[in-house]
Amino acid sequence: MRCEEFRELAGELALGELDADRAREAQRHLASCGDCREIAGREEQAENELKRVLATRKPAGLDSRLMTAVNERRARVPVTRWERMTALAGTLVLFLAGLLGMKEWTPLFSASWDLPRFSLEFPATDAVLRALTTPWLGWLVAFLVAVQIAGVAGLLLSGQRREA
């Protein structure tokens, strides 16, 4: 092996990536060439420094933080299909019951209504009742209730629960 050839392969030799035959040739050349030995020494030093700088140690407390977090997350089990369906059905029933209840017991959805008699006796509630009996407000309340219930359902459908 000639010096030029060795210099081209010096990096590969330091990386430990030279195949066995070429590595033997390189070692034979090094035995007889002081200049290339110097280059090889520098490459080896650079390799050791890179290993030192690129090495990382675990940050303090990493293991205990990981153990706590992993065991906590592992304790959660996915919600089963049956549980999801039950949650969905329950949410639907609740929502329908809420709508029916509002229609039955409040004047929110009626086109014509009379203010309850007690509101005349308590004028302070008069403004509130008038606001509540506005049809668009009724729909807004119904919409917010639906959003709320959908949120709960979504949580149940996509989420996990803790293991019993």
**Smaller CB distance to another protein: residue 46 or 144?**
46
3-state secondary structure at position 30? helix
**Smaller CB distance to another protein: residue 12 or 25?**
12
We find the least distance from the C-beta atom of residue 47 to another protein, in angstroms, to be 8
Helix 123-132 with 135-158: angle, nearest 10 deg: 70
We find the least distance from the C-beta atom of residue 79 to another protein, in angstroms, to be 16
**Smaller CB distance to another protein: residue 71 or 112?**
71
We find the least distance from the C-beta atom of residue 52 to another protein, in angstroms, to be 7
We find the least distance from the C-beta atom of residue 15 to another protein, in angstroms, to be 6
**Smaller CB distance to another protein: residue 62 or 144?**
62
Hey, which residues does 78 pair with through a beta bridge?
160
Where on the chain is the footprint of another protein (CB under 8 A)? 11-12, 15-17, 45-47, 49-60, 62-63, 65-67, 69-71, 73-74
Per DSSP, which regions of 23-122 are E strands? 76-78
Write 136-144 long-range contacts (CB < 8 A, 24+): 137/108, 138/102, 138/106, 138/108, 138/109, 141/102, 141/108, 142/98, 142/99, 142/102, 142/108
**Smaller CB distance to another protein: residue 43 or 145?**
43
Count of CB atoms situated within 10 Å of the CB of 6: 20
23 within 8 A of 1, measured Cβ to Cβ: no
We find the least distance from the C-beta atom of residue 161 to another protein, in angstroms, to be 17
